[in-house]
Amino acid sequence: MRDVAIIGVGITKFGELWDKSFRNLISEAGTKAILDAGIEGKDIDALYVGSMSPGRFVGQEHIGALVADCSGLDTLHIPATRIEGACASGGMALRQAYISVASGINDIVVVGGVEKMTDVVGGEATNILAMAADQEWEAFFGVTFPGLYAMIARRHMYEYGTTREQMAEVAVKNHENGLLNPNAHFHRKITVEDVLNSPKVADPLTLLDCSPISDGAAALILAPLDEARKYTDKIVKIIGSGQASDSLALHGREDICTLRATVEASKQAYKQAGIEPKDVDVAEVHDCFTIAEILAIEDLGFVKKGEGGKAVEEGMTRLDGEIPVNPSGGLKAKGHPVGATGIAQAAEIVLQLRGEAGKRQVKDAEIGLTHNIGGSGASCVVHIMEVI
Ligand code: COA
């Protein structure tokens, strides 16, 4: 297996982007990544793109070919493949791109993620997202993702004494970080009281515990490590990649307070990287709801099970904390255009490791981790990267 580097990143603004279409978004992200890497169209061997539900959100399928076409790569006839894994579509696309370069099949690969979610009304977006839950056991009975994560939150509160205030602290921190990210969906400071008093979505979760419905895209350029310097000096190596699955419905799990897919995917990634959780300097984790960030820091091994709420409350995951989590603002404030999220997380970690994250730069970051979840945890992809 060859070593693989990320040599370029591109990201669009995230938010409710009325003036940009699905294809505008992915071409903008792809073009930025290509310029960042210093490659040309003729260098590209393959293209992968993560997108969850473009057929329902914008009426467009056959996304691989569309993206090659709208990026001007159609005349090169390169393989262009769309990957779907609910909200983990982006992370899975990155893993497939990584495997294709590591295997020696491809050299330069573009991997993107995109979703345009705001062209449908809010309730319809909720229904489309719920298609990634178990239709027969969950969605048919009216449970949506806020509902599923609310059940997890209640159980976590019961088992470990996690409080509403601790969950709210996740949103407060991520909105604070989002203020420092020009591409974030929200630039708005909030307080714990704001979170507790915002409209109830699914008890105990309120509006400000939830990630939003967003539009956006992100892209990366991958290359074999030993060829990377031909193009750029800004090289970040992928040192670990893991992916795992779990039962689609919550009731199939032994313990709904532990996302086994996260535990297993991170175990693979840590083993390949030869590091332990304590070696990670910065992480972008899947905070689709505030409780999800608490689960993530526990299941990734940053803290013991049950201690996530306390760790957040004590500031461990703040920009200047022991392990800064979601410096980009996370899904909560940066936004969550589902197919784009896994790629955007990797783009943030690359910027952090290159020392190019501006006001949200984590000091001396050398090793970074991304954690991308599909649905309520039935899929998980973890990547670990190191600057060289
Ligand atoms: N966080 C902060 N503010 C939010 C927000 C969020 N998640 N969602 C909406 N807002 C703001 C809007 O900007 C708007 O503000 P304004 O009045 O100042 O313009 C206001 O709240 C109302 O927005 P609206 O679009 O009407 O909200 P909504 O009630 O239709 O949707 C949620 C709110 C929480 C239901 C929606 O964001 C949601 O479904 N989130 C979860 C997404 C999800 O499940 N993703 C998959 C995870 S697995």
Q: How confident is the model at residue 122 (pLDDT cuts 50, 70, 90)?
A: confident
From 196, 228, 260, the end of a domain falls on: 228
From 176, 201, 228, the end of a domain falls on: 228
The Cα 72–Cα 377 span in angstroms is: 36
Q: How many residues does the chain have?
A: 388
Whether 54 and 142 share a structural domain: no
Whether 219 and 206 share a structural domain: no
Tens digit of pLDDT for each residue in 153-168? 999 999 999 999 999 9
Whether 343 and 378 share a structural domain: yes
- Residue 4 near residue 235, CB atoms below 8 Å: no
Whether 192 and 256 share a structural domain: yes
Calculate how far, in angstroms, residue 206's C-alpha sits from the geometric centre of ligand 1: 10
Residue entry with tokens 């893991």: 242
Tens digit of pLDDT for each residue in 58-113? 999 999 999 999 999 999 999 999 999 999 999 999 999 999 999 999 999 999 99
pLDDT, average across residues 361-381: 98
pLDDT above 70 covers a percentage of the chain that reads 100
Whether 179 and 42 share a structural domain: no
In a domain, 129, yes or no: no
Whether 61 and 144 share a structural domain: no
Q: Which atom of ligand 1 is nearest to the CA of 376?
A: 48
Whether 190 and 300 share a structural domain: yes
Active site residue 336: yes
Whether 19 and 161 share a structural domain: no
Catalytic residue (choose from 156, 175, 185, 336): 336
User: Over 90: is that where the pLDDT of 234 sits?
Assistant: no
Calculate how far, in angstroms, residue 164's C-alpha sits from the geometric centre of ligand 1: 19
In a domain, 294, yes or no: yes
In the numeric block, which tokens belong to residue 201? Answer: 């979505």
Q: Name the domain count of the chain.
A: 2
Calculate how far, in angstroms, residue 254's C-alpha sits from the geometric centre of ligand 1: 31
Calculate how far, in angstroms, residue 186's C-alpha sits from the geometric centre of ligand 1: 11
In a domain, 233, yes or no: no
In a domain, 128, yes or no: no
Calculate how far, in angstroms, residue 207's C-alpha sits from the geometric centre of ligand 1: 6
User: Over 90: is that where the pLDDT of 180 sits?
Assistant: yes
In a domain, 126, yes or no: no
So what's the pLDDT on residue 182? Answer: 98
Whether 314 and 252 share a structural domain: yes
Calculate how far, in angstroms, residue 179's C-alpha sits from the geometric centre of ligand 1: 18
Active site residue 87: yes
* Residue to mutate, 118, 210, 286, ligand 1, most ligand atoms under 8 Å from C-beta: 210
H or E stretch covering 347: helix 338-354
Whether 141 and 10 share a structural domain: no
Pocket of ligand 1 (CB under 6 A): 87, 122, 126, 129, 145-146, 186, 201, 207-208, 210-213, 288, 336
Predicted TM-score (pTM) of the model is 0.98
Please provide the average confidence, as pLDDT, over all residues in the chain.
Answer: 98
CATH number at 13 reads 3.40.47.10
In the numeric block, which tokens belong to residue 1? Answer: 């297996």
Whether 337 and 222 share a structural domain: no
* Residue to mutate, 14, 127, 203, 207, ligand 1, most ligand atoms under 8 Å from C-beta: 207
Catalytic residue (choose from 87, 210, 288, 380): 87
**Which residue minimizes the CA distance to atom 9 of ligand 1?**
212
H or E stretch covering 109: strand 108-116
In a domain, 174, yes or no: yes
Tens digit of pLDDT for each residue in 324-370? 999 999 999 999 999 999 999 999 999 999 999 999 999 999 999 99
Whether 181 and 319 share a structural domain: yes
In a domain, 116, yes or no: yes
- Please list, in sequence order, all residues whose beta carbon lies within 8 angstroms of the beta carbon of residue 227, skipping any fewer than 6 positions away: 107
Range of the domain at 336: 134-211+238-387
So what's the pLDDT on residue 208? Answer: 98
From 178, 201, 228, the end of a domain falls on: 228
- Please list, in sequence order, all residues whose beta carbon lies within 8 angstroms of the beta carbon of residue 29, skipping any fewer than 6 positions away: 10, 11, 12, 112, 114, 217, 218, 219, 340, 343
**Which residue minimizes the CA distance to atom 6 of ligand 1?**
212
In a domain, 155, yes or no: yes
Strands 205-206 and 200-202: antiparallel
